[in-house]
Structure 1
């Protein structure tokens, strides 16, 4: 099963690609975005034919990646070769995509292995096209290499997996306190449109990010309150207003679950959330 969709917001073109090898498992689609010769993220390797064909007649001068995850970096090499253009990425992202990094079975199932990308160009302080200037901002939490790209004059935020929405599950390695800190820092900037990798918000994007921050802070407080009452495990999950998706937890080999989110709240810092600056 495959998904191919598009969106247009002013000069920004969005492309959504999703893949599942079996009908009873829904695809996990991802958006990549194009503006003025720049492509932000490249979708998953399993959709390479569709991605390359969709963008074949588009002038791509440069490709940038929000982070290394395989559903964002999967076609960077193929597109770079097809359009004879550079790939720009942060240092950790560049380090990881220069070789084939380890994937779990469910990641191979939905997304596929990336083709290693040698000669990645380091991100500079500003990413320029003919008409626009995008500023990379390190936004930790979802991964330790994640960047968003802000075009302040247009109010655009190309956010990769920074926003997504009100998270109900975490994958192993996500850090809720880093997310909160990154969100607070990003809200010091002006933007209105969030070009999210999974859930674009084309109007009132800043308010959506503010609501997510409030959601995360409330979630942290709920978990710590329930923990002080003696609740543990799935009782904490329920007290936080979450529900475990057991099929997903089993299918991902315990890599993705609601309990992972709760464990991040309990284990990723020994400080009360109100002490986070």
Structure 2
């Protein structure tokens, strides 16, 4: 099963791609965005034919990867070859996509193995196109290599997987305190539109990010309070308003689940909070 969708927001073009090899298993989709010759993220390898076709008529002068995850970097090499343009990313992202990286079975199932993309160029602090200027901001939390792009004049935040929404599950390795710090940092800037990799917010985007921060801070407090009361396991999850999705945890080989969210809250706290 394949899913495609597009959006127009002023000069920004958004392209959504989703894939599932089984008819009754919902595709996990991802958005990439084009503006003024700049492509932000490249979608998943399983949708390469559709990605190349959808972007065939768009002039692409440069590609930016917000982070290394396979649903964002999966077509970087193919698009670079087709459009003869550079790929830019943060140093950790460039290092990881240069030779490809291992995937778990569920990641290959939904997204496909990425093609290696050596020679990624460093993402500058300020990225220029013909009509726009973007500030790159380091935003770890979802991954340790994550960056967003902010078009200050227009108030557009191209957020990769920084925003998404109120997460009730974590992928292994996500860090809630880094997410909170990154969110506070983003809120020092002016913006109103959030071009998210999975959940675009085209109006009142700043308020959506503020609500995300409120949610994360509240969740940390609920989990820590329940833990201090001696609650553990499912009792702690219930007290925090969380519930494990066992099918997803099993399908992902224990890579995605409530357990990783709670572990991050309890184990990743900065020394100042202990």
TM bin (shorter chain):
over 0.9
* Contact 1:234 1:259 (C-alpha < 8 Å) held by counterparts: no
Change (3 A) 1:152 1:238: same
- Structure 2 partner of 1:113: 113
List aligned pairs for 1:65-214, cutoff 5 A. 65-214=65-214
- Structure 1 partner of 2:6: 6
**Count of equivalent residues:** 274
The alpha carbon displacement at 1:24 in A equals: 2.0
CA distance in 1, matches of 2:83, 2:140: 30
Deviations 1:79-126 (A, max 9, x none): 011000000011000000001101101000000111111111111111
- Structure 1 partner of 2:43: 43
CA distance in 2, matches of 1:222, 1:179: 17
SS in 2 for 1:48: helix
CA distance in 2, matches of 1:176, 1:272: 15
SS in 2 for 1:234: helix
SS in 1 for 2:28: coil
SS in 2 for 1:29: strand
Q: Which runs of 5+ in 2 are unaligned?
A: none
The alpha carbon displacement at 1:188 in A equals: 0.3
- Structure 1 partner of 2:224: 224
- Structure 2 partner of 1:264: 264
CA distance in 2, matches of 1:269, 1:219: 13
The alpha carbon displacement at 1:238 in A equals: 1.4
- Structure 1 partner of 2:53: 53
Change (3 A) 1:22 1:83: same
The alpha carbon displacement at 1:272 in A equals: 7.1
Alignment TM-score, normalising by the size of structure 1: 0.97
CA distance in 2, matches of 1:228, 1:134: 44
The alpha carbon displacement at 1:271 in A equals: 4.8
Deviations 1:140-197 (A, max 9, x none): 1000000000000000000000000000100000000000011011100000000000
* Contact 1:42 1:73 (C-alpha < 8 Å) held by counterparts: yes
Alignment TM-score, normalising by the size of structure 2: 0.98
Q: Spell out structure 1 runs of 4+ moving beyond 2 A.
A: 270-273
SS in 2 for 1:134: strand
The alpha carbon displacement at 1:212 in A equals: 0.3
CA distance in 1, matches of 2:85, 2:228: 54
Deviations 1:37-65 (A, max 9, x none): 00000000000000001111110000000
